[in-house]
Amino acid sequence: MTEKCPFQFDLMNPMTHNERLPFEAFATLRQQCPVSYQTGAPQYGGDFWAITKRADLDYISKNPDKFSSSANLAHPQPGGNDPESLEIMRQLIINMDPPNHVKYRRVVRNAFTGKAVDALEPLMREFAKDIIDNVASRGECEFVSEVSAEMPLFIICALMEMPAHKRQTFASLVDVMIGMDDPELDVTPEDGQLAAAQIFEIAMELAASHKADPKGGTVIDALLNGIVEGESLDEFEFCTFFLILIAGAVETTRTATSQGMRLLMAHPEQHQMLIDDPSLIPDAVEEILRFYPPFIHMQRTATEDITVGGMDIKEGDLLKLFYPSVNHDPELFGDDAEAFDVTRGQRMPDLKNQHRTFGVGQHFCIGSHLARRELCIMFEEIVPRLRNPQLVANPHNLVSNFIPGIKRMDITFDAAR
């Protein structure tokens, strides 16, 4: 039997991450036992190894033959442990191991290249201006729904050829799927499965519409024309691709935008730096991504007995990779790693490659170019136009051990003249 680490932090309890991410707990684990055996409640997968240092996280991420995403999923949903649900979830690209993961990733990667994202920039910039136009004169807004949720939903729906009248319906279905840990949302596993089924229906409607009037360069086009081992994606494969790509693109960028605004309000001197020098905004985006990543953890399953960080891992053990911990390691980011500093990129020109917010290895986020561009464009509009932003009340956070989302954040600001 594996001996538990003397430092236990209930890391899989969603409430542990609710008010703020547990940076002090991560610091203790990095210093005392960076690969630590932690107690986990059965509903969250049971006991596991917490991985809190980058070298160990990178080793696990880059060796999928030794650490599987498929065996127990990279991120199992609550209530989804029955064999049928597990088999369905294994069809999502996030839960695939090589060689399947590599084959299916090729299908959509061309839709998310830097060149493809560059082509979207005029559309993104025009829409970002519209978003801020809608709130700037009022001097107040509910930032999550009126600002941070708008851009990622608009762009991914454009890539998916989704009609405007379906966007909010789709956004509501995504909210159901990510809210299964949150008691306030009262979402059951059955609700989550129904939402997935409804998203599948939307996907099939969009596929039929595209076949009737094909448009090149969209994600739908890439999926419908993708070939894996000489065959096109079948209906189920198409729908699962659609689900994971669109849900991930909407929620992660929304969370990063919301948390980024929260951080700037908490550090008005940093916000002022961006007003005085807008060229710092790309660096600020990287610091936002480093400081408060929109994913808390992913998990892998050991496929053999193996040693990681000096600890003996048994075949079948779960390992959870904690990205916020890695991103706050002073050995990597300096003695001020726990400080939010929009000029960090000036001191660390390679900052974007040093943090692990988008993962590393074969599961590196396929939408990283798109997310970074969306965030830069949004903050280029937000910073100069929403001056002196302040919270009306504490943000209303999502209860989750996976996504540090904000459900509602009411703010005031100096109204634009």
Please tell me which residue, 336 or 222, carries the higher pLDDT value.
336
Instruction: Check pLDDT > 80 for residue 183.
Output: no
Instruction: Check pLDDT > 80 for residue 181.
Output: no
The region of weakest confidence among 103-107, 124-128, 137-141, 342-346 is 103-107
Give 355's pLDDT tier (boundaries 50, 70, 90).
very high
Q: Which three-class secondary structure string do you get for the chain?
A: CCCCCCCCCCCCCHHHHCCCCCHHHHHHHHHHCCEEEECCCHHHCCCEEEECCHHHHHHHHCCCCCEECCCCCCCCCCCCCCHHHHHHHCCCHHHCCCCHHHHHHHHHHHHHCHHHHHHHHHHHHHHHHHHHHHHHCCCEEEHHHHHHCHHHHHHHHHHCCCCHHHHHHHHHHHHHHHCCCCHHHCCCHHHHHHHHHHHHHHHHHHHHHHHHCCCCCCHHHHHHCCEECCEECCHHHHHHHHHHHHHHHHHHHHHHHHHHHHHHHHCHHHHHHHHHCHHHHHHHHHHHHHHCCCCCEEEEEECCCEEECCEEECCCCEEEEEHHHHHCCHHHHCCCCCCCCCCHHHHCCCHHHHCCCCCCHHHCCCCHHHHHHHHHHHHHHHHHHCEEEEECCCCEECCCCCCCCEEECEEEEECCC
pTM > 0.85: yes
The region of weakest confidence among 122-136, 198-212, 279-293, 338-352 is 198-212
Q: Could you report the per-residue pLDDT of 358-367, keeping only the tens digit for each? A: 999 999 998 8
pLDDT of residue 288: 98
Rounded mean pLDDT, 28-52: 95
Question: How many residues in the chain?
Answer: 417
Q: Calculate the alpha carbon distances from 17 to 26, 78, 197, 254 in Å.
A: 12, 17, 29, 18
Rounded mean pLDDT, 34-55: 94
Please tell me which residue, 164 or 406, carries the higher pLDDT value.
406
Instruction: Check pLDDT > 60 for residue 1.
Output: no
Give 43's pLDDT tier (boundaries 50, 70, 90).
confident
Give 79's pLDDT tier (boundaries 50, 70, 90).
low
pLDDT of residue 85: 75
Residue 244 identity: I
Please tell me which residue, 218 or 272, carries the higher pLDDT value.
272
Q: Could you report the per-residue pLDDT of 300-320, keeping only the tens digit for each? A: 999 999 999 999 999 999 999
pLDDT of residue 78: 55
In the chain, what are the domains? Answer: 14-414 (1.10.630.10)
pLDDT of residue 127: 95
Rounded mean pLDDT, 147-176: 83
Rounded mean pLDDT, 400-408: 94
